[in-house]
C-alpha cells in the first residue's frame, strides 16, 4: 500500500504540533526542521487557551516542567499613569504560562521523535508542484511528496509563492534578555508588566530561571538607528518608562549586550491553503504580539491544518476550505480587537505610533 507522503516544513511550535497531530495518521511524514542554536528565544507568554490544544496532541504535560512558571500577575500602565492589574489586555481566559521558549520547543521536538518521526535538520530551498506532486529541493538533496504543510513562520516559504500576502502594519520588536546582578539582595517580582509610552509600548516578564525578558514595540521609522549596536541607546529609551525602568533598577537587572530586532507586524496569507498545500502558524497569520496569541494560533492552525491535510488526501476538500475561512475570520476578529485595545490608550493619541493604530 502506498501511503501519501506529507512534508512539514519548519521546526517551530506549528511544525512540531502538526507532526504530533499527523503521527497517528496513515501519512508518511517528512519533517524538514533545521535546528537553530538561538539560546535566548523570545515569545514566552503562552495564553491559557493553549492548554486544551496541547491536550489534543497529548503534550499538555510539557507545561509542568520546572523551567516554566504560571503567569499569575500581569500589571499594566495602559491608558493611565497608574498601574493596574489588567487581565483583559493580554489574556481573557485566565492565567497563562510564562514558558522557557527554547526548552519548550526542544521538548515538543523530542515528543515528535519519541513518536517515531525523524527530524531532518536542513533548510528547504525550493518546492515546485508538478502534476500533483511536490518536488522539494533541500540543502542535502531532493524529495518528492504528495502534500506540503508550510510551518516556516513569517518566511512562509511556500505559501507566499502560491497566495497573496497582506500586511497591516510595520511593528518592530527590540528584544533583550537581562540578568540580575549576582550581588543583588532582592528577589524580583514574578510578574509581567506592560507599559505604553509615546512611541510604542514595553513588555517585561520574569522567566522561571530569574532572567528578565524585555521587549519594546514601535515602528521602524520611530526607532533610533543605532539601537541594536549601542546599549546606551536602548537604556535611554528605557528611561522614558515610569515603571519598567524602576523595576529593572530596583532589582538590579543588567543589559549586557545590545538588543536584537525582530519583525512583529501583523501579516497573513489569503487563502491560507491551496492545491496540495496549507499554511499553519505564522506562515498563515502572524499577529502583533499584544494579542499574546501567536503561539495559541500556531497550535490551533497546526492541529486544524493537519486534519484538513489528511481529509484533502482522501479526496475531501471541505475541511481545507473551512480552514481558510476560519483563518480569515480570526484575522478580522484580531484586527478589530487590536484597534479597541490601542484605543484604550488616550494619553498619546496625537503621537504617530498611536495615531496609526486607532484610526
Ligand X SMILES: Cc1cc2nc3c(=O)[nH]c(=O)nc-3n(C[C@H](O)[C@H](O)[C@H](O)COP(=O)(O)OP(=O)(O)OC[C@H]3O[C@@H](n4cnc5c(N)ncnc54)[C@H](O)[C@@H]3O)c2cc1C
Which of 271, 289 has the CB closer to ligand X?
A: 289
Q: Residue 65 has which C-alpha cell?
A: 516542567
CA pair distance 326, 340, nearest whole angstrom: 21
Which of 253, 334 has the CB closer to ligand X?
A: 334
Query: Residue 186 CB, nearest distance to ligand X (Å)?
Result: 25
Query: Residue 79 CB, nearest distance to ligand X (Å)?
Result: 21
Q: Residue 330 has which C-alpha cell?
A: 480570526
CA pair distance 152, 204, nearest whole angstrom: 27
Query: Residue 83 CB, nearest distance to ligand X (Å)?
Result: 20
* Nearest C-alpha neighbor of 259 from the set 282, 241, 236: 236
Rg (CA), the chain: 21
> Which residues, at least 6 apart from 69, have a Cβ–Cβ distance to it below 8 Å?
97, 98, 190, 206, 207, 208
Query: Residue 284 CB, nearest distance to ligand X (Å)?
Result: 8
CA pair distance 214, 217, nearest whole angstrom: 10
Which of 42, 354 has the CB closer to ligand X?
A: 42
Which of 102, 131 has the CB closer to ligand X?
A: 102
Query: Residue 356 CB, nearest distance to ligand X (Å)?
Result: 18
Q: Kindly report the number of other CB atoms within 10 A of residue 278's CB atom.
A: 31
Kindly list the residues in this chain that would bind ligand X in the complex (CB under 6 A). 9-15, 32, 34, 36, 42-46, 123-124, 151-153, 155, 157, 173, 175, 215, 262, 264, 281-283, 286, 289, 292-296, 298
Query: Residue 171 CB, nearest distance to ligand X (Å)?
Result: 9
* Nearest C-alpha neighbor of 287 from the set 346, 217, 223, 338: 338
Burial category of 344 from C-beta neighbours within 10 Å (exposed 0-12, middle 13-18, buried 19 and up): middle
8 membership: H or E segment, kind and range: strand 5-9
Q: Residue 217 has which C-alpha cell?
A: 514595540
Which of 251, 302 has the CB closer to ligand X?
A: 302
Q: What phi, psi does 332 have (nearest 5°)?
A: -60, -45
Query: Residue 7 CB, nearest distance to ligand X (Å)?
Result: 10
Which of 14, 313 has the CB closer to ligand X?
A: 14
Query: Residue 46 CB, nearest distance to ligand X (Å)?
Result: 6
Which of 11, 200 has the CB closer to ligand X?
A: 11
* Nearest C-alpha neighbor of 9 from the set 151, 160, 161, 163: 151
Which of 92, 186 has the CB closer to ligand X?
A: 92
Which of 8, 251 has the CB closer to ligand X?
A: 8
Query: Residue 207 CB, nearest distance to ligand X (Å)?
Result: 12
DSSP letter (8 states) at residue 313:
H
Alpha helices in 213-255 (DSSP H): 231-238, 244-250
* Nearest C-alpha neighbor of 268 from the set 155, 149, 165: 165
Amino acid at each position: 500500500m502506498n501511503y501519501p507522503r506529507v512534508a512539514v516544513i519548519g521546526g517551530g511550535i506549528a511544525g512540531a504540533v502538526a507532526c504530533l497531530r499527523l503521527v497517528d495518521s496513515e501519512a508518511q511524514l517528512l519533517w524538514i526542521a533545521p535546528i537553530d542554536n538561538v539560546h535566548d528565544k523570545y515569545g514566552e507568554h503562552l495564553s491559557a487557551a493553549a492548554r486544551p490544544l496541547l491536550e489534543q496532541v497529548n503534550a499538555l504535560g510539557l507545561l509542568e516542567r520546572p523551567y516554566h512558571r504560571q503567569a499569575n500577575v500581569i500589571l499594566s500602565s495602559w491608558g493611565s499613569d497608574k498601574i493596574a492589574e489588567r487581565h483583559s489586555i493580554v489574556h481573557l481566559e485566565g492565567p497563562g504560562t510564562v514558558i522557557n521558549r527554547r526548552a519548550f520547543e526542544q521538548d515538543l521536538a523530542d515528543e515528535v521523535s519519541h513518536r517515531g518521526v525523524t527530524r531532518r535538520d536542513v533548510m528547504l530551498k525550493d518546492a515546485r508542484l508538478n502534476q500533483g506532486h511536490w518536488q522539494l529541493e533541500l540543502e542535502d538533496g531532493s524529495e518528492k511528496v504528495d502534500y506540503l504543510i508550510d510551518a516556516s513562520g513569517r518566511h512562509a516559504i511556500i505559501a507566499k509563492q502560491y497566495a497573496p500576502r497582506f500586511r497591516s502594519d510595520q511593528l518592530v520588536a527590540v528584544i533583550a534578555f537581562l540578568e540580575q546582578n549576582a550581588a543583588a539582595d532582592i528577589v524580583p517580582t514574578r510578574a509581567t508588566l506592560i507599559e505604553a509610552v509615546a512611541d510604542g509600548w514595553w513588555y517585561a516578564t520574569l522567566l522561571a530561571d530569574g532572567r528578565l525578558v524585555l521587549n519594546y514595540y514601535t515602528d521602524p521609522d520611530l526607532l533610533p538607528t543605532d539601537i541594536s549596536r549601542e546599549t546606551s541607546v536602548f537604556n535611554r529609551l528605557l528611561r522614558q518608562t515610569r515603571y519598567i525602568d524602576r523595576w529593572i533598577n530596583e532589582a538590579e537587572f543588567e543589559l549586557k549586550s545590545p538588543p536584537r530586532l525582530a519583525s512583529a507586524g501583523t501579516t497573513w496569507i489569503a487563502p491560507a491553503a491551496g492545491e496540495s498545500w496549507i499554511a499553519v502558524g505564522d506562515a498563515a497569520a502572524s499577529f502583533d504580539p499584544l494579542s499574546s496569541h501567536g503561539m495559541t494560533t500556531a497550535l490551533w492552525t497546526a492541529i486544524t491544518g493537519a486534519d484538513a491535510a489528511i481529509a484533502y488526501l482522501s479526496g475531501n476538500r471541505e475541511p481545507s476550505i473551512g480552514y481558510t475561512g476560519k483563518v480569515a475570520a480570526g484575522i478580522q476578529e484580531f484586527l478589530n480587537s487590536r484597534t479597541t485595545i490601542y484605543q484604550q490608550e488616550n494619553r498619546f493619541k496625537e503621537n504617530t505610533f498611536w495615531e496609526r493604530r486607532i484610526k
